[in-house]
């Protein structure tokens, strides 16, 4: 879960824009990176924000909560498409709103689990409201082209989206789900189950973009400086990429989009260079392109000459 509202400094944004423009030019990328954001509640600042700000991606955001959707609509800009829909298995479902925006879910909170994690969470979940759900694979292609990147933060329903989105994700290069380490909702899949599904679809874990830990509920909780007592891992944003061991079988455009995603969404510049190395080995790029890109990175990332 990425939080906060600070923007990248303008100088850093220009540098990112220069690196993305260079990659698009040398690799001959003819369309923007496509990102599907499921649970696009603007309470969180997405990792693709800077890429969107420089015009380097196109985003389809799905958000069922009326207030969150209205906020998305209010801040809509170029290359954004927002849809007031909940994803999962096509059919009817129950949505349980929460006083803390972003914690609304298709699952009921598990009282025993959240009491262990700390007071208040269970009491702040509202009564269920029946809603329509649609599977990722049932969304018409003219409404959602196959994405290159899927981001999800939907409080326990990530596995449902993955299981009913296999065709849509067949050409994706990265999936960034929020994964749970400590249970919050009744019958929610834990990280291990999401990991198995993604691996079965041809993705491997690349990195953890963020991990959230919380203090446990206890008799001294009110006296604690919580920053010193966050011992329980709760959840985190996991970055999965299509298995790079199979890159020889990928179309060149797919390798190129992974490089763009690595540079502009999850900041894995070693992966960018590995993609450029691969394309240079294929003869698609000049052999000096990987070094040229490396030299465009900030000096603090490079050893002294």
Determine which of 42-46, 53-57, 128-132, 146-150 has the lowest per-residue pLDDT on average: 42-46
89-105: average pLDDT: 88
Chain center to CA of 94: 24
In a domain, 2, yes or no: no
Sole residue written with tokens 């199979």: 246
In a domain, 73, yes or no: yes
Q: pLDDT tens for residues 149-198?
A: 999 999 999 999 999 999 999 999 999 999 999 999 999 999 999 999 99
In a domain, 114, yes or no: yes
Say whether pLDDT at 2 is over 60.
no
60-77: average pLDDT: 92
Beta bridge partners of 179: 236
pLDDT at 222 (0 to 100): 84
Range of the domain at 272: 10-301
Q: What's this model's pTM, rounded to 2 decimal places?
A: 0.93
CA distance 278 to 281: 5
Determine which of 149-153, 217-221, 237-241 has the lowest per-residue pLDDT on average: 217-221
274-302: average pLDDT: 95
CA distance 41 to 3: 11
pLDDT at 220 (0 to 100): 86
pLDDT at 218 (0 to 100): 84
Count of the separate structural domains present in the chain: 1
In a domain, 5, yes or no: no
In a domain, 169, yes or no: yes
Q: SS3 for 257? A: helix
CA distance 43 to 12: 23
In a domain, 164, yes or no: yes
CATH number of 147's domain: 3.40.50.150
Q: pLDDT tens for residues 23-39?
A: 999 999 999 999 999 99
In a domain, 93, yes or no: yes
State what percent of residues in the chain have pLDDT above 90.
74
Residue burial 66-96, b: 16+ Cβ < 10 Å; e: rest: eebbebbeeeeeebbebbebbbbeeeebebb
pLDDT at 6 (0 to 100): 46
In a domain, 25, yes or no: yes
Q: SS3 for 231? A: coil
């Amino acid at each position: 879960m990425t939080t906060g509202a600070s923007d990248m400094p303008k100088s850093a944004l220009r540098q990112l824009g220069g690196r993305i423009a260079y990659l698009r030019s040398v690799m001959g990328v003819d369309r923007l990176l496509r990102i599907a954001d499921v649970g696009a509640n603007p309470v969180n600042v997405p990792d693709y924000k800077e890429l969107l700000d420089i015009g380097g991606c196109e985003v389809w955001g799905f958000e069922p909560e009326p207030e969150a959707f209205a906020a998305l609509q209010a801040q809509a800009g170029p290359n954004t498409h927002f849809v007031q829909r909940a994803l999962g298995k096509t059919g009817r479902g129950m949505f349980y709103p929460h006083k803390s925006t972003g914690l609304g879910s298709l699952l009921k909170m598990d009282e025993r689990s959240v009491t262990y994690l700390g007071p208040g969470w269970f009491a702040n979940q509202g009564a269920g409201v029946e809603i329509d759900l649609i599977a990722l694979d049932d969304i018409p292609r003219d409404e959602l082209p196959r994405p290159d990147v899927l981001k999800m933060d939907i409080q326990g329903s990530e596995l449902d989206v993955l299981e009913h989105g296999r065709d849509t994700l067949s050409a994706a290069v990265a999936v960034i789900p929020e994964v749970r380490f400590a249970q919050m909702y009744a019958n929610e899949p834990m990280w291990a189950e999401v990991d198995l599904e993604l691996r079965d679809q041809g993705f491997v874990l690349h990195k953890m973009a963020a991990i959230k830990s919380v203090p446990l509920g206890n008799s001294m909780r009110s006296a604690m400086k919580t920053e010193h007592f966050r011992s329980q891992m709760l959840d985190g944003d996991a970055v999965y990429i299509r298995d790079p061991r199979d890159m020889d079988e990928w179309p060149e455009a797919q390798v190129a989009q992974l490089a763009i995603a690595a540079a502009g969404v999850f900041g894995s510049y070693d992966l960018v260079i590995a993609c450029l190395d691969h394309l240079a080995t294929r003869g698609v790029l000049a052999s000096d392109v990987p070094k040229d890109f490396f030299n465009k990175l900030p000096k603090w990332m490079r050893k002294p000459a």
